Amino acid sequence: MAKQIDLSYAIGLPPEKAIEYFKSKGLVLTWDWNDLWQEAHSKAFTIAKVMRMDILQDIKGKLDKALENGTTLQDFRKNLEPTLKAKGWWGYKFVSKEDGTLERVLEGSPWRLKTIFQTNMQNALSAGKYKEQMELKDERPYWQYVAVMDSRTRPAHRLLNGKVFRYDDPFWETHYPPLGFNCRCRVRALSEDEVKARGLKIESAQGKIKWVDQVVNKKTGVIEKVAVFKDDETGKSIPTDAGFSYNPGEAAFFPNLDKYDYKVAKQWIMGALTSPDFLAFWDGIIKGNYPVAVIDKKYMDAIKSKSQVVNLSSDTLKKQILEHPEITLKIYQQLPNIIENAQLIVKDRDTAFVFLRIDKEIYYGAIKTTKTGLTNFLTSLRKAELNDIKAIKKKGEIIKDEL
C-alpha cells in the first residue's frame, strides 16, 4: 500500500477542485525544468525538452483524463506511450538547441512518464485540497503536516510529520506539499476540538523561514532561492527541494502576483493567457479583470504605480474585439513579451504608459494606473502608423526610445 498512499485519497473519485486546477493550466514550451519557476507552474503546464506543442498537449490531455477517471500510473503509460512513440518523442536523441548546439537528451521513457504522472497528479491533488481546506478554514483552521513514514520517506519530510500550524501561518506559503519530485506528503485539516483532544501543539513559522541560494542547474550554473524552515524543537533546518518552495493551491486559486518577482509573475501570466480560462474570457463567458502582463520597477515608477500587474477588463476587451478585429487572440497571448520588449515608451499627461514594438507590425497600446496606484489597466491595443509614433513622442516624457 505504501506505493499508492500518495494518490489513494483521490483514486476512484473525481477530485473536482484538482481537475479544476489542472484544466486551468496553459501550455508553455521549455528546455530545462527550471526555465519555468515555482509559482509559474500553477498556471502553466510544461515538460522539460518537449519543444512541440502537440506532444505537450498529448501529455496534458492524458493527465486530464487520469484525474477525471482515477487512472493508475500503469494505465497512463499504456495510453500515452504508443502516441509518443508514433510521433518520435521517445528515447535518447541529439536535439538542436536555440543557439545551434546539439545536446543528447532523454525524451520519453518509462521513468520520465512515472515522474511526470506522479509530480503532476500530486501537485493537482494538493492544490485542490488546499482550496477545499481554505473554504473550510473557519471550521477547521489548524493544519497538520502528514508524511508517509516508511523507508522511502525523506529525512526532511520525516521531521515535519505531525507538526500543526494555523492555515494562515507563513509555513504553508513555502512548505505546503509536495516539497519535491515524487513527494507523498499531504495536509490534514483539524478543528480546535480535535487539536485539544489529540494534545497537539500549535506552532508558528513566523520569522523562521529563510531563503538560501542553491544551484538548480549544474550545466548552466543557474542559482535560485530555496526556502528553509528552522525548526526550534529539533534545531534542524528543513528545506524544500529546489523549485518547490511555494504553495501550488495558493498560487493557482488565490494568487497575489505582486508578491512574486517579475520573472515568475510574467511566467504565471504567460501560462494563464494560453489557458482555457483566458479562452472563456476572450469569448465573453468570464467577466471582470484578467491579468495580461507585468511591468518592471522602472516603468512602475514612471506611472506612479504600486503594482507590477497589468489587467484587461472584459468591457475593454469586448470593445477592442469590435473596433480592432485585426488584433488576434495570438497577439493578446504574447502581451507579456510585447510589453517587456517595448521599443518606445512614453509617459503622457494623464500618466498613461504607452508601448510599441516592431515585429513585422507596429503595435500601440496604453497602460493606465488608477488614482490609488494599486491597479493598472490595458486601455487600448492596436496597430500603429508612423504618424501615431510621431504623435506619441510629443505627448510627454520619453522613458525609452529604440525606434
Distance CA 81, CA 117 (A): 12
Peptide bond into 255 cis (omega under 30): no
Q: What are the pLDDT digits (tens) for 270-301?
A: 999 999 999 999 999 989 999 999 998 888 88
Q: Given the C-alpha cell 506552532, which residue does it identify? A: 203
pLDDT mean over 158-178:
97
Q: Does 19 have pLDDT greater than 50? A: yes
Output 100 or 88, whichever has higher pLDDT: 88
3-class SS at 82?
helix
Q: Reply yes or no on whether the pLDDT at 6 is more than 80.
A: no
33: nearest Cα among 220, 179, 183, 184? 220
Residue spans of alpha helices (H) in 70-170: 73-86, 110-135, 155-160
For 342-352, what is the mean pLDDT? 73
Q: Rounded mean pLDDT of 185-197?
A: 96
> 309-338 pLDDT, tens per residue?
999 999 999 999 999 998 999 999 999 988
The Cα 367–Cα 384 span in angstroms is 16
Give every strand in the sheet of 186-190, ordered side by side.
186-190, 142-146, 164-166, 202-203
Q: For position 353, what pLDDT does the model report?
A: 67
Exposure string of 365-381, with b = 16+ CB inside 10 Å and e = fewer, is bbbbbeeeeebbbbbbb
**Element housing 173 (H / E):** helix 171-175
- Mean pLDDT, the chain, whole residue set: 87
Distance, CA of 277 to CA of 44 (rounded, Å): 12
**Is 52 in contact with 30 (CB distance < 8 Å)?**
no
Residue found under cell 520573472: 263
Distance (Å, whole) CA 179 – CA 401: 44
- What is the pTM for the complete model shown? 0.77
Greatest alpha-carbon pair distance for the chain in Å reads 75
* Half-sphere CA count of 321, side-chain side, radius 13 A: 14
pLDDT 10s digits, 102-127: 888 889 999 999 999 998 998 999 99
